[in-house]
Chains A and B, each alone.
Chain A
């Protein structure tokens, strides 16, 4: 059986699609998922991400999930752009697909660099992404730090759909630490609550990483339980406001990711004391952006620099 780990495309390599003749020049390796490697490629002077798989069936399953998602959000910029095969130098054929290139960094790296203040918003954006996926009939499955890419102003993109599974089926791919089966907290059936459990573990991994890993390695398999995880939810100041939310997610009490996102949103904006501000995340980001621009403008004036603010930003 071919595996893509055997194949490594050097920067500068030009990959030509066997069926559609599209030409893609490899810039560099971006990362590696369960079903293949992801490269940054150039095509028509624009940058894209290209996933090269070792197995056409595995990769196609992933593409099917992406297609189902795309058919739901027609207005959005398409994520999946082309599907093709190419023949490598040694004659072997590899399936690949081209997707939008998302500039960003893995969740934990983003928070480390930009500050934990971003955590509630990024978490909220991620929950909305999951809700969207669930509503198109799929569960993400392999939710973990590395598969959450964060771009400017906390924009979130899920990457590596290798674990994406139609609702009701057995989750195709998962990582033990984030798997509710591993923690004796439920089945591996693809349902919204499966991803929400992983989301809660993801939060713990971000702020209680050491204790979480210690738990996973020291507790005997038969003794692992969500109660151990729940004990980690109220220690860190960043997690404290979300303790109740995390417990509900770990116990599988949310009916849907949409509901979970709404609950998260209420906590973000003052625990639901004030009347709900609808769609306030966009407003929040815009407000923050305006503040930043204001500070920048003030700095420029103060420094007496002859700079002009780019139009459209002020």
Chain B
């Protein structure tokens, strides 16, 4: 299972439309969730529509929350998406095997076993979550909360029985302001990582779409496997790693 979680607080303003990028992700089997993070009293109503549309195109969900709710939201959203992904797969099976449209269409007494299987798969299936962090100027005061939420997520993922990995990216890339930078490659343990997100020089641009495309590409690199890394290195954009 693969998820891309975008944490942002504003509209994209450079490059490809992020809604299109989210549709690309979905086509690659990556569910896109979006969290709009605000500080108390702050309003990001202008970005709300885009946040919602990105999530819809990416087959995921979106929430606007304040920094205090961020950890809990990241954790719940990730878990919920796992269950939904498994549920969709199980529903396909149900259609084929029982002719039932979904879990809900089964009589309650037959649901128990199916849901037990969903819960079991949700716990044990391998999971990869890429976190894409908007690090434009307005996000600066919120990055401590973002970092805390990432650590909290890893703690939750460690209690899963299946292999769970995260990777962390931020955008814009301060070099060219176009794409994103990988801060943390796939890992299941960040105990030794003092600081995930580097101190950033903030730039004005918010290239959400291009950054998402690069993360999708990063997922694809992972698919090729590390054994043939030498061959794929050349394919990686220089600004990804």
A-side residues, CB < 8 A to B, are 1, 19, 56-58, 60-61, 63-64, 67, 83-85, 93, 95, 166, 168-172, 176, 181-182, 187-190, 221-222
Given contacts A56-B111, A64-B112, A85-B104, contact A172 B79 (CB under 8 A): yes
A190 to B61 alpha-carbon distance, docked (Å): 27
Which 6 A/B pairs are nearest by Cβ-Cβ distance?
A170-B159, A60-B115, A188-B159, A83-B108, A189-B159, A56-B104
Closest to B145 in A: A221
Q: Which residues of B contact A168 (CB under 8 A)?
A: 161
- 21 A–B pairs (Cβ distance < 8 Å), ordered by A: A56-B103, A57-B115, A60-B103, A60-B108, A60-B112, A61-B115, A64-B112, A67-B112, A83-B108, A95-B104, A166-B119, A169-B123, A170-B79, A170-B157, A170-B160, A176-B71, A181-B156, A187-B159, A188-B159, A189-B159, A221-B148
Whether A188 lies near B115 (C-beta < 8 A) is no
| B152, A181: Cβ atoms closer than 8 Å | yes
Task: For the complex, give the distance between the alpha carbons of A300 and B123 in Å.
Answer: 62
Residues in B whose Cβ lies below 8 Å from that of A171: 159
> Which residues of B from 96 to 117 have beta carbons under 8 Å from A?
103-104, 107-109, 111-112, 114-116
Once the chains are docked, how many angstroms separate the CA of A190 from the CA of B155?
Answer: 13
Report the separation of the CA atoms of residues A187 and B156 in the bound assembly, to the nearest whole angstrom. Answer: 8
The CA of A189 and the CA of B156, in the complex, are separated in Å by 8
Pick the contact of A181: B109, B119, B155, B160 (CB < 8 A).
B155
Interface hub of A57, A83, A190 (most chain B Cβ within 10 A): A57
Q: What's the dominant secondary structure at chain A's contact region? A: mixed
Q: Which residues of A contact B148 (CB under 8 A)?
A: 221-222
- A187 to B155: give the CA distance in the assembly, Å: 7
Complex CA gap A7/B123 in Å reads: 30
Interfacial chain B residues near A166, Cβ < 8 Å: 119
In this complex, the member of A1, A64, A84, A171 whose beta carbon has the largest number of chain B beta carbons within 10 angstroms is A64
Question: 8 Å CB contacts to A: which residues of B153-184?
Answer: 155-161
**In the complex, which of the residues B118, B157, B159 contacts A57, with contact meaning CB atoms closer than 8 Å?**
B118
Q: A170-B159, A181-B156 are in contact. Are A57 and B87 (CB under 8 A)?
A: yes
The answer on a CB contact under 8 Å between B123 and A170 is yes
A80–chain B nearest beta-carbon distance, Å? 11
A56 to B119, CA, bound (A): 13
CA distance A294 to B1 in the complex (A): 66
Annotate B192-223 by CB proximity to A: 1 below 8 A, 0 otherwise. Answer: 00000000000000000000000000000000
- For B71, B119, B148, B157, the residue with the greatest tally of chain A CB atoms inside 10 Å of its CB is B119
Chain A residues lying within 8 Å of B152, measured Cβ to Cβ, are: 181-182
B151–chain A nearest beta-carbon distance, Å: 7
Contact indicator per residue, chain B 125-164, by CB within 8 Å of chain A (1) or not (0): 0000000000000000000000010011001111111000
**Chain B residues with CB under 8 A of A182:** 152
| Minimum distance in angstroms from A47 CB to a CB of chain B | 22
Say yes or no: B155 contacts A176, CB within 8 Å.
no
